[in-house]
Amino acid sequence: MTVEQGQSPETWLARALGSHDAETHGVVPGIHPATTFLRGGDLTYPGLVYARPANPTFATPEALLSKLEGAAESLLFGSGMAAATAVFQALQPGDHVVAPKVMYWALRRWLKQFCAHWGLGLDLVDMTDSDAIAAAVRPGRTRIVWVETPANPTWDITDLAAAADIAHRAGARLVVDNTVPTPLLTRPIEHGADIVMHAATKYLNGHSDVLMGTLSVATPDAFWQRIRGVRGDLGGIPGPFEAWLLLRGMRTLALRVDKACANAQAVAEHFHGHPRSAGILYPGLPDHPGHGIAARQMRGGFGGMLSLRVAGGEAAAVRAAARLQLWTRATSLGGVESLVEHRASVEGPDSPCPPDLLRLSCGIESAADLIADLEQALAP
């Protein structure tokens, strides 16, 4: 570590590890749009060959993310789904996967289809129950135990250290979707994870204007090289401008996550026990079933995501969402603006989401204003 880089994640982020434009000495790293690169006179390449395997603009955000996650290497992908699916595409037919019943719905849907088509075994389990995970793994055949914690949209908590132990004893890798907590709140590799995934569209970028995903690895082994090959061969990479925008967004990550956590905690506490609430799902509340585990493996807050179950059922929840004026009715999460979704209607009939649930992504507005808008929306 250099003095320029600093000792704290906040400093790494704000200074982008001290990066600047080497050619112009600008304090902001440059964008490299080239898709092909010059050969030497002997027809060898002194550097990169082509933009599909890699681009120079990727180097700084990948290095910064690796530093934040305590990872050996990181890779940028064109979307969160491109990153997540690359892990499974690196498996062999006959391998087995254990994944959560409650997880990002589009990945769960894709997994069901892909595993059947690719000849992979798949078990979806309750990841809050370590015994259920242990019962699902098949030693010698299970290759991936996939965990999302807190789990979207009910914010269940998985014990990462326990899941890692179960996975490793079975000869499998633990892969963790760390999108919601970000590495500022949870560093899965410290708890035994092998690979960490982010939908970087969300908190890492944080401005709802970039589509991107990432993977970070503890040890770049042969399986990681297969993932790298999937990215290069299938072309699931972002453009250089998007990579540059990601880096720009990451520089304010610490400020945004801190404010989102504070807002979520304030909203959760205000509506906990509220007469028009049928329940608040947020690991920052002491009576949340996973609060103790979350307090142990998260630091600096419990995330900016929570869900409100509306008294009166689905009709009341949909009505409340329609009446909101400040909260924006839109898909996604982790941006500076606060978003709301009625998840059951988005996910469809196989959703594990209760029909009275509104998913709330807290942005960086005034907590008092967010609470007031919810109050008027829930009013009779």
Dist CA 35 CA 186 (whole Å)? 36
Active site annotation includes 259: no
| Band (164; pLDDT cuts 50, 70, 90) | very high
pLDDT at 2: 58
Which residue among 143, 173, 187, 202 is the active-site one?
202
C-alpha–C-alpha distance, residues 231 and 87, integer Å = 10
Average of pLDDT values for 337-366?
94
pTM tops 0.75, yes or no: yes
Verify whether residue 45 is a known catalytic residue: no
**Residue 203 a catalytic site member:** no
Residue 325 near residue 226, CB atoms below 8 Å: no
pLDDT given at position 357: 97
Average pLDDT of the chain, as a whole number: 95
pLDDT tens by residue, 79-118: 999 999 999 999 999 999 999 999 999 999 999 999 999 9
* pLDDT score recorded for residue 48: 82
- In the annotation, is 52 catalytic? yes
Query: What pLDDT is attached to residue 5?
Result: 63
- Is the model's pLDDT at 199 over the cut of 80? yes
Tell me how far CA of residue 371 lies from CA of 125, 258, 281, 324, in angstroms.
35, 18, 16, 11
Q: Structure tokens of 132?
A: 């259920």
Q: Of these residues, 95, 123, 159, 177, which one is catalytic?
A: 177
pLDDT digits (tens, 9 = 90+) for 12-68: 999 999 888 878 888 888 898 999 888 888 878 777 888 888 889 999 999 999 999
Q: Span 131-150, mean pLDDT?
A: 98
Evaluate if residue 240 carries a pLDDT over 60: yes
Which amino acid appears at position 315 of this protein? A
